[in-house]
Amino acid sequence: MSTTFQLDTATSRANPTPAPMKRLTIPAIRRRKQDGVTAEPIVMLTAYTARQAQLLDAHCDLLLVGDSLGQVIYGLPSSVPVTLEMMIAHGAAVVRGSYHAAVVVDMPFGTYEQSPQQAFANAARLLKETGCAAVKLEGGAAMAETVAFLAERGIPVMGHIGLTPQAVNVLGGYNARGRSDAEAQKIVSDAVALDKAGAFSIVIEGVVEPIAIAATQAIACPSIGIGGSAQCDGQVLVTEDMLGMFERVPRFVKRYADMATVVSEAAGQYAAQVRDRSFPGVEQTYQPK
């Protein structure tokens, strides 16, 4: 049983209500790629709130509660300070607001690197307290043992290689990866290691296109590109970037709207009407009967 939406007349908000519809499952996502071919590319966007999930859900196969919420929601300088509690709160909201897409929640920095046992304890907490279908963690071959440990114990894992934002302090910035032969070879070998460990899909971020293609072709599970290639098995973007909520976005982002201008202009109209006392009008006030 999953959910659809009805208007709550008491609050004038759209709330999820039970409906006979099944979510996409992680095995179904994994099966999109057969014999190296994905006939229907996988669509993934980030979501951080219940309402955002409601609006995106029908269009997506996967909703990612990304630790990018550190910058997007909390104004942090990077994703490094994001806590497990933040991810749980937002992950639960996105699960409540969706009914179709499988929800994947990022494991924040410091919650999985120490040991497979640490990773299992925190991943299990994410699944229990949010209701999500899978977790995502960053790192290549070094994390293969952890990925296998989780997968063997019933926790689906999405890998993440190439430009890994949690490692920004080691990488020295957000520049594209894979420009040197050694780095290119490592990216492909990282993808293969995670695939063999049991990852159900792998995000390939900020990688020069030929390497993204090579990594996609080298693995049996689907790849999800972000700054990779259209030949990846799917794509993901940060929704706020795609909607044009920020003045500056990475090269790999395509803006499909200019919501920053829409919001600013609407706020400006509201402010003007408050100041000239034309709002609220008769339509927005309660009159004597």
Please state the rounded mean pLDDT for residues 169-181.
71
Please state the rounded mean pLDDT for residues 123-152.
98
Tell me the binding residues for 3-methyl-2-oxobutanoate. 67-68, 106, 136
Please state the rounded mean pLDDT for residues 125-131.
98
pTM (predicted TM-score): 0.91
Q: What is the pLDDT of residue 179?
A: 87
Q: What is the pLDDT of residues 48-97, one digit of tens each?
A: 999 999 999 999 999 999 999 999 999 999 999 999 999 999 999 999 99
- Which residues participate in catalysis according to the annotation? 205
Tell me how far the alpha carbon of residue 5 is from its chain's centroid: 22
Tell me how far the alpha carbon of residue 277 is from its chain's centroid: 42
Q: What is the pLDDT of residue 20?
A: 47
Helix (H, G, I), strand (E, B) or coil at 5: strand
Q: Options 3.30.1280.10, 3.20.20.60, 3.30.300.30, 3.40.50.10800; which CATH number does 2-258 get?
A: 3.20.20.60
From the number of C-beta atoms within 10 Å of its C-beta (0-12, 13-18, 19+), residue 272 rates as: exposed
Instruction: Confirm if 2 and 100 have CB atoms less than 8 A apart.
Output: yes
Please give the structure tokens belonging to residue 189. 């070998």
Please report, rounded to a whole number, the percentage of residues in the chain having pLDDT higher than 70: 90
Containing 148, the helix (H) or strand (E) segment is helix 144-152
**At residue 125, does pLDDT exceed 50?**
yes
Instruction: Confirm if 66 and 46 have CB atoms less than 8 A apart.
Output: yes
Please state the rounded mean pLDDT for residues 218-237.
97
Handedness of CA 84, 85, 90, 93 (dihedral sign): positive
DSSP assignment letter at 62: E
Q: What is the pLDDT of residue 1?
A: 33
Tell me the binding residues. 67-68, 106, 136, 138
DSSP E strands: which ranges in 109-258?
Answer: 134-136, 157-162, 201-205, 223-226, 234-237
Please state the rounded mean pLDDT for residues 159-165.
90
Please state the rounded mean pLDDT for residues 21-43.
95
Instruction: Confirm if 64 and 136 have CB atoms less than 8 A apart.
Output: yes
**At residue 2, does pLDDT exceed 50?**
no
Tell me the binding residues for Mg(2+). 67, 106, 138
